[in-house]
């Protein structure tokens, strides 16, 4: 979890109330954070990943002030129109297609406030932005910029500017090869023919996301009064949330928020949008979940202590909250505000003897065998998208699509595991080889015989990636697994568009097909921008376990 070090003086000013130290420590711990230390100058606290809005002293103070009942309810953040615009060109479509932008005026910076702004930016980069993979943030002194701003992509050799804290003007390629920040994050642009840049009306380069700002126009100082903020990435809704976290923090620093028009060809968007989201509250569900008996007034009081607004049975969720997706999230907030220490302790009136589920024991055994061979276990998501599951694998899969997805990045249920580990190989090209990994997870397929029309199964994908990866190498791993389980299996050659013809097979046990095994085709490797060969197998653990049980 990320740790923030915040000034106690600034914290108490923003909260608007001082608490005795023992009370302060107690309340911070019950807010849903992990307190490290409180001293006379500083508060050190770990923030859970689901609350990136609390990664700044302003956001943390806002949440704490509501929690202790001092400033409860929905905060109002007025937004005025700036009349300025950002033009997003089609050239960024295949690189980093979206941006959300704003202006904040009337700020007064000193060393401490500049440090706070840098901390907000970097903490969000690391956590919510997944080390700049999902989100890159830029904050610039507005007085050095001439509007309108353009967001475009150009060839690396056509981009020249003086990178932040660099010694001289450099090309984009030189920045990736020579500048410390370029070397650290250059892999995020690896294989791209065009690099994204923000440029003002004077053709000054403001930044090259997600790498680095310009030294000339991308560095705030104590003379800066007004700032331009941009967040770039791949999902517009996520970028808007990130922008909201930043501008509300700057508002708490004394700034005034101004919106900008974003021109995406024929489409226009205005950001930031700080209007709260209205979600109907299901009090009976929450009472069942928590074992409480709250009425609407009681639930309203708890939610207001967590910074929400309430109106006519609906919750007004702040625009900077990213963690509210379901009624269970309201239940969590209500539980925190109600106080975990206030829940009645009840011993269940049952007597049982617990034991580990046999299937879980089986999966652990498989994982242990692979770990013994030097494989590293990875954890992957059950949600994916059609590009990763189908297009890049040269397949057409009839995947199960989510009806209410909030992100194009995760809009289908995973149909098979192999793309998940190939994605890991693709994102780790900058690490040394060989790379031997496995991942156990759930896959989903359509089946009208099932009650919900969906069949679920646990599978394991195992992959080797190095210059000598081949069918023989991965087959030896599969042989070892079955030998250790005391089982025999057969393999027959098949055709599969994701694999090399003649080097792919279907494994079966007692006539039941349980695995694919083979070498990934060069076309698929090219789709993932992989230069090393990859050999994999995907084993249906649910099917294999059933076959073992029958035996």
Residue 403 pLDDT exceeds 90: no
Residue range 407-421, pLDDT digits in tens: 788 899 999 999 999
pLDDT tens-digit readout, 169-187: 999 999 999 999 999 999 9
Digit-coded pLDDT (tens) for 361-398: 999 999 999 999 999 999 999 999 999 999 999 999 88
- Residue ranges per structural domain of the chain: 3-67, 79-271, 277-341, 358-550
Angle in degrees, 0-180, between the axes of helices 283-290 and 327-338, rounded to the nearest 10: 60
Contacts of residue 483, Cβ cutoff 8 Å, sequence gap at least 6: none
Average pLDDT value for residue range 288-301: 94
3-67 and 277-341 agree in CATH topology: yes
Q: Which residues contact 38 (CB under 8 A, 6 or more apart)?
A: 8, 21, 24, 25, 28, 44
Q: What is the CATH number of domain 277-341?
A: 3.30.56.10
Specify the pLDDT at position 447: 82
How far apart are alpha carbons 416 and 413 in whole angstroms?
9
* Predicted pLDDT of residue 498: 95
Pairwise CA distance, residues 201 & 85, whole Å: 11
Identify which of 14, 511, 79 has the alpha carbon closest to the alpha carbon of residue 319: 79
pLDDT of residue 346: 83
| DSSP alpha helix (H) spans, 5-154 | 8-15, 21-30, 57-67, 111-126
550 confidence band (pLDDT: 50, 70, 90): confident
How far apart CA 166 and CA 178 sit, in angstroms, is 10
Q: Which residues contact 465 (CB under 8 A, 6 or more apart)?
A: 425, 433, 434, 435, 436, 530, 532, 533, 534
Q: Is the pLDDT of residue 348 over 80?
A: no
What DSSP line would sit under 87-112, residue for residue? EEPGGGTTT--EEEEEEEES----HH
The runs of H, that is alpha helices, within 253-408 are 283-290, 296-304, 327-338, 358-372, 386-389
| CATH fold for the domain made of 358-550 | BirA Bifunctional Protein; domain 2 (3.30.930)
Residues 138, 213 contacting (CB under 8 angstroms): yes
pLDDT of amino acid 551: 65
Write out pLDDT tens, residues 111-123: 999 999 999 999 9
As a whole number of angstroms, the distance between CA 182 and CA 436 comes to 28
Q: Mean of the pLDDT values across residues 145-158? A: 96
Give the pLDDT confidence score for residue 117 in this predicted structure: 94
CATH 3.30.56.10 assigned to 3-67: yes
Compute the distance between CA of residue 222 and CA of residue 124 in angstroms, rounded to an integer: 23
DSSP assignment letter at 69: T
Residues 448-463: tens digit of each pLDDT = 777 778 889 999 999 9
Q: How confident is the model at residue 125 (pLDDT cuts 50, 70, 90)?
A: very high
pLDDT category of residue 344 using cuts at 50, 70 and 90: confident
Instruction: Read off the pLDDT band of 270 (50, 70, 90).
Output: very high
The arithmetic mean of pLDDT across residues 142-160, rounded, is 96
Cβ atoms within 10 Å, residue 9: 12
Contact (Cβ atoms closer than 8 angstroms) between residue 496 and residue 505:
no
Q: Class of the 79-271 domain?
A: alpha beta
Structure tokens at 398: 């009839």
Can you tell me which residue has the tokens 């230069």? Answer: 531
> Cβ distance 359 to 287 under 8 Å?
no
Check residues 212 and 550 and name the one with the higher pLDDT: 212
Digit-coded pLDDT (tens) for 18-47: 999 999 999 999 998 889 999 989 999 999
- Across the range 220-244, mean pLDDT stands at 96
- With beta carbons less than 8 A apart as the criterion, state whether 127 and 49 touch: yes
Percent of the chain scoring above 70 in pLDDT: 99
Return the structure tokens found at 259.
């919106």
Res 522: pLDDT:
96
Q: What share of the chain is helix, strand, coil (3-state, %, to 5)?
A: 35, 30, 40
Is residue 443 scored above 70 in pLDDT? yes
Q: What is the per-residue pLDDT for 449? A: 79
* pTM for the predicted model, two decimal places: 0.72
Measured CA to CA, the distance from residue 28 to residue 478 in angstroms comes to 50
Confidence band for 246, pLDDT divided at 50, 70 and 90: very high
Q: What is the mean pLDDT of the chain?
A: 93
């Amino acid at each position: 979890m990320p740790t923030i070090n915040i000034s106690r003086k600034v914290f108490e000013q923003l909260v608007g109330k001082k608490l005795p130290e023992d009370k302060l420590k107690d309340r911070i711990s019950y807010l849903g954070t992990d307190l490290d230390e409180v001293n006379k100058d500083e508060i050190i606290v770990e923030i859970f990943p689901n609350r990136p809005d609390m990664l700044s002293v302003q956001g943390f103070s806002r949440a704490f002030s509501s929690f202790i009942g001092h400033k409860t309810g929905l905060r109002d953040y007025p937004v005025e129109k700036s009349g300025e615009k950002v033009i997003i060109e089609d050239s960024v479509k295949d690189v980093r297609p979206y941006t959300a932008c704003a202006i904040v005026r009337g700020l007064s910076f000193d060393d401490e406030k500049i440090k706070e702004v840098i901390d907000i930016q970097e903490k969000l980069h690391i956590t919510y932005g997944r080390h700049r993979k999902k989100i890159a943030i830029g904050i610039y002194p507005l007085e050095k910029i001439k509007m309108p701003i353009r967001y475009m992509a150009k060839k690396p050799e056509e981009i020249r500017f003086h990178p932040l804290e660099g010694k001289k003007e450099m090309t984009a390629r030189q920045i990736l090869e020579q500048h410390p920040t370029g070397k650290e994050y250059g892999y995020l642009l690896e294989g791209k023919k065009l690099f994204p840049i923000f440029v003002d009306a004077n053709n000054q380069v403001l930044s090259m996301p997600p790498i680095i700002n310009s030294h000339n126009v991308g560095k705030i100082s104590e003379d800066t009064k007004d700032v331009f903020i941009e967040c770039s990435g791949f999902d517009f809704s996520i970028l808007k949330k990130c922008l909201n976290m930043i501008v509300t923090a700057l508002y708490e620093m004394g700034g005034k928020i101004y919106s900008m028009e974003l021109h995406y060809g024929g489409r226009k968007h205005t950001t930031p949008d700080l209007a709260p989201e209205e979600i109907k509250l299901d009090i009976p569900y929450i009472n069942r979940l928590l074992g409480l008996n709250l009425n609407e007034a009681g639930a309203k009081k708890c939610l207001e202590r967590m910074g929400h607004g309430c109106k006519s049975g609906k919750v007004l969720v702040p625009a900077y909250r990213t963690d509210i997706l379901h009624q269970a999230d309201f239940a969590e907030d209500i539980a925190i505000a109600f106080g975990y220490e206030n829940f009645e302790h009840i011993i269940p009136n049952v007597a049982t003897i617990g034991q580990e589920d046999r299937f879980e024991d089986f999966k652990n055994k498989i994982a242990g065998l692979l770990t013994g061979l030097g494989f590293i276990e990875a954890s992957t998501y059950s949600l994916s998208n059609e590009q990763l599951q189908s297009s890049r694998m040269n397949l057409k899969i009839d995947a199960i699509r989510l009806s209410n997805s909030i992100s194009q990045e995760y809009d289908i249920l995973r149909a098979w595991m192999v793309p998940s580990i190939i994605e890991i190989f693709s994102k780790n090209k900058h690490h040394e080889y060989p790379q031997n990994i496995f991942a156990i997870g759930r896959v989903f397929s359509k089946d009208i015989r099932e009650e919900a029309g969906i069949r679920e199964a646990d599978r394991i994908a195992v992959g080797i990636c190095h210059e000598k990866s081949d069918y023989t190498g991965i087959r030896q791993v599969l042989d070892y697994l079955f030998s250790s389980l005391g089982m025999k299996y057969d393999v027959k050659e098949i055709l599969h568009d994701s694999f090399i013809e003649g080097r792919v097979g279907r494994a079966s046990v007692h006539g039941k097909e349980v695995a694919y095994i083979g070498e990934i085709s060069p076309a698929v490797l090219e789709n993932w921008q992989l230069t090393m060969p990859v050999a994999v197998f995907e084993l249906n653990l649910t099917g294999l376990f059933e076959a073992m049980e029958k035996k």
